[in-house]
Structure 1
Amino acid sequence: MKIRKISIKNFRGIKELDWSLPAAEIFCLIGKGDSSKSTILEALRYAFYPQWNPIFTDADFYQCKVDNGIVIEVTLGDLTPEFCSDQKYGHHQRGWDKATQKLTDESDDHLESVLTVRLTIGKELEPKWIVVTDRTPEGVLFKQADRAKVSVGLIGAFSEKQLSWAAGTALAKLTEAQSLNELLATASRTARTSLDADRLVTLKNFDAAAVKSEGIAKLLGVPVTTSYQAHLDLNSINLKAGGLALHDGDMPLRQLGLGSRRMLLCGIQQVGLDEGHITLFDEVEFGLEPHRISRLIKHVREDKRGQYFLTTHSPVVLRELTINELYVVHSKAGNVQIIAASSDSLKEHEVQGKIRSSAEAFLAKKVVVCEGATEVGFLRGFDDHQVGKGGDPFSYHGVALLNAGGAGNVKGLAKAFKGLCYDVAVLADADAPKLFSPVDEEELKKLKVNVYAWSDMLSLEERAFQDLPWPSVVTSLKLAQDDLKFPVYDNVRSKLQKDLDKDLNKWIESPELKTAIGRAAKDSGWFKDITRGDKWFATISPAFADPEFSKKDTAVKLASLWTWASDV
C-alpha cells in the first residue's frame, strides 16, 4: 500500500498541513530545523499505530491547546484485495486521480481506489481510528490488526526495540505468531525448573530464610499447605515478546552502533514483508559515514515494493538523491507547506545542479546568495562583529551564506531558491553589468528578493576602500602586505600610475589613491577567499563605530542586510 495524501491539524508543531503526493517511492523532506519534518513522520506512524494504546499528552496538541482536537488523515492507495472487500472497507472506497493529484469521494473506473484513514484525539486523550468518506463522515472503525497490515515502520534515533519481537516490529511480522507465545511461556517455566535442580547449593541461604518465615507463619496462625521455600515467581519472569531479541552469537544486536542498527532495520523492513511496507526514516544520516549513506540510499532506491519517507540535515544525503525525491518543508506560524524540488515552475533554474553544488543552503530558512568567496568571508566577519555587539548570529535566524561562484550565477541561484519559497537576499558587485545588471536586479526585486549591490557600479573592494576611514585603509594594506604576503606597493603603483612612497605608512589619503587601492585589491585578489575575506572584515570592524562611516554605502547596505536576516 502507498500513501497518496496527508492532512494534519493541530498536532505538535503543525497547525495545518495538506499535502498531495505524486506516485513515487521516495520522499525526502528537507529544510531548516524546527520546520516539522520529524513531526510529519510521527503523524504517519500514529495513523497506522500497530498497538491499541499509544500514549498522548497535552504537549501533542498544537501550542498545547487541547480544545482544538488533533486530526490526522492519510489517504492510502495501491490497496490490497482484502481492504477492498465488502467485508472490510469496500463500501468506503474513494477515487484518486494520479495525474491531477485530486481526491474525489466516489471511486470510478479511471481513478485509483483509495481509503482515507482518520485518527482523532480530543482533550480526553483517547485516540480513535476510522475510515471515512464525505458520504459517511461518521466512518467505520479501522481495526488494530488492519493498521498493522499497512506495515508502517519508524526508524528513529532510538531503535533498539525494533530488533526484538515486540508487537508491531518488523521481526514480529516475520514470525509465525501462533508459536511465539507458547515458546516464551515454556522458556519461563524452564528457567524455574533449572534453578530448582541445584537448590541445595544455589538456594541454601534463601531456603533458610524461607524456613524462618514458615515458622513465623505458623506462630501467627497463617496456614501452611506444604513448606515454604524460595522460588522464581512465574509472573515476574514471564517473558514478553519484546524480551526475545535478535543476537549475533551471544551479543544482542541492540549493542551495534546506531548507524548499523538503522541500516539493518531498513533491510529487514524491505526484505521481510511480502506485501510491501511504508518506512519512515528520521535523520537518515545519523551514525553513518558518507560511503554507508551512499550504500543505504542505493538500497532504498532499488526497493520497488516499499514507500520511503526520509528526513535529513545532511548535504551528503542531498547529493545522493535526485531532484524528484526532494521536498522542501516550510513552516510559518504552524502552517506547513511542502514544495517539490522538481516542480515544473523550477525547471528553467536547473535546481538539480544547484542542490549538488549548494546543498547546505537547502537546509536553511533564509539564503544570502553571495557573488563570490570574498562576500561570504566578509559576511562571516560581519556576523562575528554583530554577535560581539550582542546580536544573534546568522545561524540563529536560519541564514545560510551561499557562494554563487561568480556574478553570472547570482540571478539563477536567487530565482531557484525563491521558487522553492526560501527567503532570499543577494549581495553582489555592480562592476560587471554583463553578468549581473541593473535589469537583473530589478527582476529579482519584483520577485521579492532583497538585492544589495554596491553603488556607483563598484566591486566590494572598490566600494569599501572608497568608504572606509583612512586608518582602516592602512590596516587593510598591512593585512594584505604583512599577513597575506601580497606585493601591495607594486599592485597599487600599477593602478595609480604616479610616484608612490614604498613605505605605505607615508601614503597620504586622497580619493585617487583610495580608488587605486580598491582596484588593486580586486584585481590582485587580496581577499579572494572566505578566510581572507573574514580576516579583512575583522581588521576593519572598528570603522563601524565611526558615525561618518555608518552613513556610507558599505555600512548602510550591511545594516539593511542584517535587518532582513534578523526579521522573523
Structure 2
Amino acid sequence: MKIRKITIKNFRGVKELDWSLPTADIFCLIGKGDSSKSTILEAIRYAFYPQWNLTLSDSDFYQCKVENSIVIEVTIGDLVEEFCSLNKYGHCLRGWDVAALKLTDEPDDHLERVLTVRLTVEKDLEPKWIAVCDRSPEGVPFKQADRSKVSVGLIGAYSERQLSWATGTALAKLTEAQSLNELLANASRTARTSLDADRPVTLKNFDAAAVKSQEIAKLLGVPVLDAYKAHLDLTSINLKVGGLTLHDGDMPLRQLGLGSRRMLLCGIQKMGLEEGHITLFDEVEFGLEPHRITRLIKHIREDKRGQYFLTTHSPTVLRELTVKELHVVHSKGGVAQIISAAQDGLQEHEVQGKIRSSTEAFLAKKVVVCEGATEVGFLRGFDDYQVENKKDPLSFHGVALLDARGASKLKALAKAFKSLRYDVSVLADGDAEKQFSPADEAELVTLGVPVHVWSDKLSLEERAFQDLPWASVLVSVKLAQELGFPANDQVRSKFGEELEKQVDQWEDSPKLRTAIGSAAKGCSWFKDTTRGDLWFKAIIPAFQDAAFAKKNLALELGKLWAWVEHV
C-alpha cells in the first residue's frame, strides 16, 4: 500500500498541512530545523499505529490547545483486495486522480481506488481511528489489525523495540503464526522447574528463611497447607513478547551501534512483507559514515515494494538523491508547506547540479546567491565581524551563502530557490551587464528577491578600492603580497607609471585606486572563499570610519544584513 495524500491539523508543531503526493516510492523531506519534518513522519505512524494503547498528552496538540482536536488524515492507494471488500471498507472507497493529484469522493473506473484513514484525538486524549468519505462522514472503525496490515514502521533515534518480537514490529510480522505468549509462558515454567531441581544447593539459605517463616506462621495461627519454601512466582517473572529479542550469538543486537541498528531495521522492514510496507526513516544519516549512507540509499532505491519517507540534514544524503526525490518543507505560523524540488518550470539539471555542489543551501531557510567565491568569503568575514559586535550570526537566521559561479547563473538560481519558497537575496557585481543585466535585476525584484549590486558598474574589488579608507587599501595590497601575488608589479602594470617599492609610501589618488582595483580583479587576489574571508578581516577597521559608512560598499552590506535580520 502507498500513501497518496496527507492532511494534518493541530498536531504538535503543525497547525495545518495539506500534501498531495506524486506517484513515487521515495520522499526525502528537507529544509531548516524546526520545520516539522519529524512531526510529519510521526503523524503517519500514529495514523496506522499497530497497537491499541497509543499514549498522547496535551503537548501533542498544537500550542497545547486541547480545545482544537488533532485530526490526521492519510489516504492510501495500491490497496489490498481485503480492504476493498464491502465487508471491510468498500463503502468508504474514494478515487485518486494520479495526473491531477486530486482526491474525488466517488470511486471511478479511470481513478485509483483509495481509502482515507482519519485519526482524531480530542481533549479526553482518546485516539479514534475511522475510515471516512464524504458519503459516510461518521466513518467505519479502522481496526488495530488492519492498521498493522498497512505495515508502517518508524526507524528513529530509539528503535531497540523494533529488534524484538513485540506487537507491531517488523520481526513480529515476519514470524509464522505461532503463539509467542504460550512459548514464553512455557519458558517461565521451565525456569521454575530448573530452579527447583537444583534446590539443595542454590536455595539452601532461602529455604532456611522459609522454614523460620513457617514456624512464625504456625505460632500466629496462619494455616500451612504443605511446607514453606522459596520459589519463583510465575506472575512476577512472566516474560513478555517484547522480551524475545534478536541476538547475535549471546549478544542482543540492541547493543549494535546506532547506524548498524538502523540499517538492519531498514532491511528487516523490507524483507518478507508480501504486501509491501511504508518505512519512515527519521534523520537517515544518524550513526552512518558516508559510504554506508550510499549503500543504504541504494538498498532503498532497489526496493520496489516499499514506500519510504526520509528526513535529513546531511549533505551526503542529498547528493545521493535525485531532484524528484527531494521535497522542501517550510513552516510559518504552524502552516506547513511541502514543495517538490522537481516542480514544473525549474531546470532539473541546474538544480541537481547545485544539490551536488551546494547542498547546505537546500537545508537553510534563507539563501544569499552570490556571484562568486569572493563574495561568499567576503560575507563570511562580514558575518564574523557582526558576531563580534553582538549581532546574531547568519546561522541563527537560517542563512546559507551560495556560490553561483558566474553572473550568468544568478537569475536562474535565484528564481529556482524562490520558487521552492526559500527567502532569497542576490549579491552581484555591476561589471557584467551582458550576463546579469538591469532587466534581470528588475525581474528578480518583482518576484520579491532583493538584489544588491555595486554602483558605477564595478566589481566587488573595484568598488572596495574606491570606497575604503586609504589605510585599508594599503593593508589589502600587503595581504595580496602575503598570499603570494606580485601585487606591486601587477598594480604598476595597470597604473602605467612607476611606483614606490614600499607600499606604505604610495600616495592616495583616484587613478591609483582604480589601478589597484583592476589588478585585484584581473589577477584574482581574493577570488576564493578563504582569501575573500581573509580580505574582509584585514579591512575591518574601515567599518569604524564615519566617511566609509556612507559609501556604496558599506551601504549595500548594511541593506543585506537588514534583510538577513528582518525577512
Structure 1, residues 164-201: CA drift from partner, whole Å, max 9, x if none?
10111000011134331111111111111112221122
- 1:3–1:77 CA contact under 8 A, matched in 2: yes
Give 1:266-285 correspondences, 5 Å limit: 266-285=266-285
CA RMSD of aligned residues (A): 1.3
Letter of the 1:70 partner, please give it.
I
Give 1:145-164 correspondences, 5 Å limit: 145-164=145-164
Structure 1, residues 194-236: CA drift from partner, whole Å, max 9, x if none?
1222112212222222222222222222222222222122112
Q: Which residue of 2 aligns with 1:301?
A: 301
Q: Which residue of 2 aligns with 1:395?
A: 395
Cα distance in 1 for residues equivalent to 2:490 and 2:135: 80
Equivalent pairs: percent with the same residue? Answer: 76
Q: Secondary structure at the match of 1:396?
A: coil
Q: Which residue of 2 aligns with 1:564?
A: 563
Shift of 1:349: 7.3
Q: Secondary structure at the match of 2:395?
A: helix
Q: Which residue of 2 aligns with 1:466?
A: 466
- 2:459–2:521 CA contact under 8 A, matched in 1: yes
Shifted more, 183-192 versus 211-220: the winner is 211-220
Stretches of 4+ moved more than 4 A in 1? Answer: none
Letter of the 2:3 partner, please give it.
I
Pair 1:323 & 2:323 matched = yes
Letter of the 1:390 partner, please give it.
K
Cα distance in 2 for residues equivalent to 1:191 and 1:410: 73
Q: Which residue of 1 aligns with 2:184?
A: 184
Cα distance in 2 for residues equivalent to 1:93 and 1:7: 17
Give 1:336-347 correspondences, 5 Å limit: 336-347=336-347
Q: Which residue of 2 aligns with 1:419?
A: 419
- 2:342–2:348 CA contact under 8 A, matched in 1: no
Shifted more, 345-354 versus 423-432: the winner is 345-354
Letter of the 2:442 partner, please give it.
E
Cα distance in 1 for residues equivalent to 2:179 and 2:52: 22
Aligned length: 567
Letter of the 2:99 partner, please give it.
A
Q: Which residue of 2 aligns with 1:85?
A: 85
Q: Secondary structure at the match of 1:71?
A: strand
Letter of the 1:49 partner, please give it.
Y
Q: Secondary structure at the match of 1:138?
A: strand
Shift of 1:348: 7.0
Cα distance in 2 for residues equivalent to 1:36 and 1:471: 50
Cα distance in 2 for residues equivalent to 1:213 and 1:243: 34
Q: Which residue of 2 aligns with 1:116?
A: 116
Letter of the 1:564 partner, please give it.
W
- 1:349–1:413 CA contact under 8 A, matched in 2: no
Q: Which residue of 1 aligns with 2:502?
A: 503
Q: Which residue of 2 aligns with 1:10?
A: 10
Shift of 1:32: 1.0
Pair 1:541 & 2:544 matched = no
Shifted more, 349-358 versus 45-54: the winner is 349-358
Letter of the 1:232 partner, please give it.
L
Q: Secondary structure at the match of 1:295?
A: helix
Q: Secondary structure at the match of 1:307?
A: strand
Shift of 1:450: 1.1
Q: Which residue of 1 aligns with 2:480?
A: 480
TM, length-normalised to structure 1:
0.98
Cα distance in 2 for residues equivalent to 1:530 and 1:177: 62
Pair 1:95 & 2:95 matched = yes
Q: Which residue of 1 aligns with 2:353?
A: 353
Structure 1, residues 69-93: CA drift from partner, whole Å, max 9, x if none?
1000001111111111111111111
Cα distance in 2 for residues equivalent to 1:388 and 1:109: 66
- 2:323–2:348 CA contact under 8 A, matched in 1: no
Cα distance in 1 for residues equivalent to 2:256 and 2:191: 27
Pair 1:166 & 2:171 matched = no
Letter of the 1:29 partner, please give it.
L
Q: Secondary structure at the match of 1:397?
A: coil
TM, length-normalised to structure 2:
0.98
Q: Secondary structure at the match of 1:345?
A: coil
- 1:30–1:326 CA contact under 8 A, matched in 2: yes
Cα distance in 2 for residues equivalent to 1:349 and 1:448: 24
- 1:461–1:522 CA contact under 8 A, matched in 2: yes
Change (3 A) 1:84 1:188: same
Cα distance in 2 for residues equivalent to 1:395 and 1:20: 31
Q: Which residue of 1 aligns with 2:231?
A: 231
